[in-house]
Amino acid sequence: MSITLVSDVRLAIRNVRRGGWQSATVVLILGVALGVVTAVFSIAHAVLLVPLPVDDSDGVVLLWGRDDARSQQVVEVSLRDQRAWIAAQRSFTAIELFGSVNWGELQVSGPGQPFRAVRSAVSSGYFDVLGARPLMGRTFREADDRPGARPTVVLSEGIWRQNFSSDPDILGRLLTVGAGSTVTAVEVIGVMPREFRVPAGAQVWVALGPELGEADDVRAMYAIARLAPGATVERGVAELSTIARNEELKGGNLTTSMVVVATPLMAYLLGPSRPALMAIAGASTALLLIACTNAAALLLVQGAARRREIAVRLAIGARRRQIVRQLFAESAVLSLIAGALGVALAYVSFDAIRALAPVDVPRLDEATIDGRSLLVALGLCMGTAVIVGLFPAWRHSGAAPLVALLDRSRSATSGSSSTRVRKVLVAAQLAAVVVLLTAAGLFIEASRHYSISISASTRRAC
């Protein structure tokens, strides 16, 4: 069996080389499509499929308000709101706060080379709600989160590696923050692991209390909460909405329609990037199907020129399964060469493809062409070989030897059949084009919503 397989592969390689420009065209068509699918998979895997570094992320929700009476779709949360919610609800084991947008940059002027880092202000139990554990040191305690407390900071792994050369003695070091009369000493208390990116874009985390001081009525945060065992999001939202309306009435807002909105953590982090990536994945799949259809059509044309060769082999005793196996081996060789080309194209163009995505797509910088991507590419090659090669191989091996040897008879009897095959291939291509155009439309719509959401966040930050 192994000798037969080696013989088939050797003959397939010779026939592919004899195919000349037709073989090269098939390789190029499939290679480009496989490269696109491989790159898109690598990005989608990093953004959508890699689990969050959060314990039981399904039980974590983000909370903010909505007041239709004042046409406010997003009402952020204050420290006063948080205290009222915690005191009167039973559906969440903890409710913590973090800035609804990252609060500018932390300007570090020493020791060492000055740098800037995007900061996120969080309450003391923020990391505990997420179940996120530091790579080194600790996260915030209640004493760190009180107004007037000594400023502390938790670094991301990227900042620790890039600006402190992964110094293991970073814990306890005092950083000089600010410039001129606003210089402050901030103590490094911990370093978060590389995969922790909540909220997106944050490079350092500071305690919320010292940032706000006594201004407990400033609504500039979102709440993040973990459901209690047996509780439901609906019941928790109903409880918090009642509390929120009562607090508004106490504050003199008699026309309030305040309700609390809950959003799953994953939905918040991905935002509109999920439908955009799904649309891109659909478009790349449609592109691969179109490429497979075109390649199959080319192999049918190429196989038609070999009908006499196949007829001779059948006439001298070759079995149909042997012919199918040989022709399928040729399509497999073409697919493997195309796969190698596709991986090379994906690797070379990957940085450019990532640069086309919006900068706020979470974990985009973690996407890479790795071993998993190569396995997917190999699987796609095998699937492509089946799609591209099996039908042409089965069709050409089924020709009657006598009819195939007689050119006049062949043209007279196979014309209608060939026409039907071409119509099927054209219909398949049109269906794939419809899918491709639909996915492109979904991508444009998702990108538009993404831009709107970013603009809204920027206005709130200002």
Question: What string of DSSP letters covers 331-392?
Answer: HHHHHHHHHHHHHHHHHHHHHHHHHTS-TTSTTGGG----HHHHHHHHHHHHHHHHHHHHHH
Dihedral angle, C-alpha 429, 434, 439, 443, nearest 10 °: 120
Predicted confidence (pLDDT) per residue in 294-303, tens digit? 777 777 666 6
Q: What Cα–Cα distance (Å) separates residue 123 from each residue in 38, 52, 72, 168, 377?
A: 41, 20, 25, 26, 44
Residue 250, number of CB atoms within 10 A of its CB: 9
The continuous run of DSSP H or E covering 60 comes out as: strand 60-67
Question: Does the pLDDT value for residue 412 go beyond 80?
Answer: no
Question: Does the pLDDT value for residue 105 go beyond 70?
Answer: yes
Residue bearing the bigger pLDDT, 48 or 186: 186
- For 80, which DSSP code? H
| Rounded Cα distance, 157 and 168, in Å | 12
| Rounded Cα distance, 282 and 276, in Å | 10
What pLDDT was estimated at residue 216?
82
Choose the most confident range, by mean pLDDT, from 155-159, 177-181, 208-212, 358-362.
Answer: 155-159
Comparing 104-113, 195-204, 321-330, 440-449, the range with the smallest average pLDDT is: 440-449
Predicted confidence (pLDDT) per residue in 49-96, tens digit? 777 777 788 889 999 999 888 888 888 999 999 999 999 889 999 999
Write the burial class of residue 84 (CB in 10 Å: 0-12 exposed, 13-18 middle, 19+ buried). middle
| Rounded Cα distance, 456 and 454, in Å | 5
Residue bearing the bigger pLDDT, 186 or 434: 186
